[in-house]
Amino acid sequence: MKNEGKVAKKFALYPPKGILEELGLKEGQKVRYEVEGGKLVVEFLPDPIDLALRSKKWTKTSTRELEALSEKEQSELDA
């Protein structure tokens, strides 16, 4: 998608809403800016928690297993 905009006060850039929606960006989401070949490249940085919730799960851990591991780690720290 191509679109036009302009530089606002204090050099603020406001991409069109359609582009933001196409990329799945949300208000407050972090982005990275780079200049490549004289062009501004904006790359969104996924939220680690959101990424963890949306990614494919490859293992299962029960609450009991997690608690047992926590107790083991704590006892090793106390020793």
pLDDT tens for each residue of 6-38: 899 999 998 898 888 888 888 888 999 999 999
- Report whether 32 contacts 43 (CB < 8 A): yes
Percent of the chain with pLDDT over 70: 100
- Report whether 41 contacts 56 (CB < 8 A): no
pLDDT at 57: 82
- Report whether 29 contacts 15 (CB < 8 A): no
Q: Which residue has the higher pLDDT, 55 or 11?
A: 11
Q: What angle do CA 13, 4, 16 make, to 5 degrees?
A: 60
Residue 79 pLDDT exceeds 80: no
pTM exceeding the 0.75 threshold for the entire prediction: no
Residue 51 pLDDT exceeds 90: no
- Residue written as tokens 């799960």? 57
- What is the spatial distance between Cα 1 and Cα 17, in angstroms, rounded to a whole number? 12
